[in-house]
Amino acid sequence: MATRRIVQILADGQPGESQKVCGWVRTRRDSKAGLSFVELNDGSCLSSLQLVVPGDLDGWDDAVGRVTTGASLRVSGTLKESPGKGQRVELGVESLEVIGEADAESYPLQKKRHSFEFLREIAHLRPRTNTFGAIARIRNALSAAIHRFFQDRGFVYVHTPIITTSDCEGAGEMFQVTTLDLKRLAQVQTEIDYGQDFFGRPASLTVSGQLEAEIYATSVGDCYTFGPTFRAENSNTSRHLSEFWMVEPEMPFYELPDNMELAESFIRSITAEVLERCGEDMEFFNKRIDDTVLATLANITDNEFIRLTYTEAVEILEGAGREWEYPVQWGRDLQSEHERFLTEEHFGQPVILYDYPRTIKPFYMRCNDDGKTVRAMDVLVPRVGEIIGGSQREDRLDVLLERITECGMEPEDYWWYVDLRRYGSVPHSGFGLGFERMVQLITGMSNIRDCIPFPRTPKSAEF
């Protein structure tokens, strides 16, 4: 008899059917009258299967003490309609094997609520909890939805490099990659000769696949990357990770309005798909984690995003009639408090801001004719803040060269990037979505460290 996943049994198992299942014990409740109830979970869904073990089952007297929270079991029996409340069917156990024991004294997961801080310290066991099992399934469904969204539209999935030698991609501190013996070099105290290093020059982990994605956008057409990204910033917040996953589409012949259109339908579409595919898990998040999360997501799928320019946003903020901790002034970057006010209070829904001052944005964004702004856009959502950052790219050779110099960088370091403007240049655009921030938005989890299986943050890289 083949083993079945619990999600299938709970969905369509019929009384009278013989079933074999494997999984991990969540709880056991004994009835000395001759029964034991065991909640068995196999991770296929949030719900557990209730096992009903008759007290006279062969070998049960010996096994019962080992059927503790966390132990793994293989059982077979007959499905029955459940006379109790809380489940449609239950499994009347006819044979039971304890595969792996879990010592009740030392097993860290107890039959009670744990804090997320504690569970983070046992990241190897936390996916066995309701919350982290659900997050794992949401991440999976969200990944699939992202690929489906782009694949349905003919986008090509491009694998951009993890290791890069562009030492300034414009997005912050980078992790150095080296095979040099730093311990020995420190002892001899010599000047470091990168010619001796693995790549013959300094190398780092990527902070963005955008520049390489532009190469493929201007050859195979609409494309996207979806991979790990690394930032060595000393950021200690609930919205930052040192290693995270980023989705970066890049489209030729797209101007900024096309880019905003795609970003909006992207967010709304993947949100709707996860809501549809992960109903039970989403009910759980709404009940146990954040009772506004389903309403927030419905607001996203049902309404068009607000669009306004940076300049209009500044006017709204100046006229808001409140004291800002940081003053609002055209030409300065908007602060967290400003962005939150716009998306959470003033509009109460996602907002796309565009046309930012060129002085606060990177070199590759296309300059507007006013000479003061660039075609940048940020998508802001309630609670999480900036979830997407993107722009139309500067496609004019002379302007790009000017901007590289203006930003204090060397055009020669970007010779291949500049070449894209020298040969067959086209207007093009793209954006980046922080995958874990999207998971945060969907689940209502307040800390991004709980939205990725093994979080890497400053001073923290266990597991």
Partner RNA sequence: UCCCCGAUAGCUCAAUUGGUAGAGCGAGCGGCUGUUAACCGCUAGGUUGUAGGUUCAAGUCCUACUCGGGGAGCCA
Ranges within 14-33 binding RNA (CB under 7 A): 27, 29-33
By CB under 7 A, residue 246 contacts RNA: yes
The footprint of RNA on residues 278-297 (CB under 7 A) is none
The footprint of RNA on residues 337-356 (CB under 7 A) is 337, 340
Site string for RNA, 62-81 (x = CB under 7 A): ---x--xx----------x-
Of the candidate residues 261, 315, 386, 402, the single one contacting RNA (CB under 7 A): 386
Separation between Cα atoms, residue 165 and residue 151, nearest integer Å: 30
Name the minimum Å distance from CB 173 to RNA: 8
Give the Cβ contact number of residue 322 at 10 Å: 9
Of the candidate spans 148-156, 158-166, 182-190, 230-238, the one that interacts with RNA by CB under 7 A turns out to be 230-238
Nearer to RNA, 244 or 254 (CB): 244
Name the minimum Å distance from CB 53 to RNA: 10
Of the candidate residues 128, 137, 139, 240, the single one contacting RNA (CB under 7 A): 240
Token pair, residue 286, equals 């709404």
By CB under 7 A, residue 172 contacts RNA: yes
Name the minimum Å distance from CB 188 to RNA: 27
Name the minimum Å distance from CB 172 to RNA: 5
Q: Token pair 């969200």 is at which residue?
A: 142
Nearer to RNA, 59 or 424 (CB): 59
Name the minimum Å distance from CB 381 to RNA: 10
Name the minimum Å distance from CB 205 to RNA: 13
Contacts of residue 460, Cβ cutoff 8 Å, sequence gap at least 6: none
Name the minimum Å distance from CB 424 to RNA: 26
The footprint of RNA on residues 104-163 (CB under 7 A) is 104-105, 108, 110-112, 114-115, 117-118, 120
Name the minimum Å distance from CB 362 to RNA: 8
Site string for RNA, 201-220 (x = CB under 7 A): -------x------------
Contacts of residue 333, Cβ cutoff 8 Å, sequence gap at least 6: 360
Amino acid at site 304: E
SS3 324: coil
Name the minimum Å distance from CB 60 to RNA: 14
SS3 462: coil
Contacts 24+ apart (CB under 8 A), 455-460: 455/120, 455/123, 455/241, 455/243, 456/241, 456/242, 456/243, 457/235, 457/236, 457/240, 457/241, 457/242, 458/234, 458/235, 458/236, 458/242
Contacts of residue 459, Cβ cutoff 8 Å, sequence gap at least 6: none
Token pair, residue 127, equals 């996916």
Amino acid at site 164: T
Nearer to RNA, 235 or 301 (CB): 235
Nearer to RNA, 425 or 447 (CB): 447
Of the candidate residues 84, 195, 319, 321, the single one contacting RNA (CB under 7 A): 84
Separation between Cα atoms, residue 66 and residue 304, nearest integer Å: 55
Of the candidate residues 237, 265, 303, 359, the single one contacting RNA (CB under 7 A): 237
Name the minimum Å distance from CB 4 to RNA: 20
Name the minimum Å distance from CB 29 to RNA: 3
The footprint of RNA on residues 252-281 (CB under 7 A) is none
The footprint of RNA on residues 313-332 (CB under 7 A) is 326
Total chain residues near RNA (CB under 7 A): 73
Separation between Cα atoms, residue 194 and residue 436, nearest integer Å: 35
Contacts of residue 352, Cβ cutoff 8 Å, sequence gap at least 6: 260, 263, 264, 305, 306, 307, 308, 377, 378, 379, 380
By CB under 7 A, residue 249 contacts RNA: no
Strands 156-157 and 89-100: unpaired
Q: Residue 92: in which H helix or E strand, if any?
A: strand 89-100
The footprint of RNA on residues 391-450 (CB under 7 A) is 432-434, 436-437, 446-449
Of the candidate spans 219-227, 290-298, 310-318, 451-459, the one that interacts with RNA by CB under 7 A turns out to be 451-459
Separation between Cα atoms, residue 258 and residue 254, nearest integer Å: 5
Largest CA distance in the chain: 86
What are the start-end ranges of the E strands in 167-242? 176-177, 203-205, 223-230
Nearer to RNA, 6 or 388 (CB): 388
By CB under 7 A, residue 90 contacts RNA: yes
Name the minimum Å distance from CB 191 to RNA: 25
By CB under 7 A, residue 82 contacts RNA: yes
Which among 47, 59, 150 has a CA at the least distance from the CA of 98?
Answer: 59
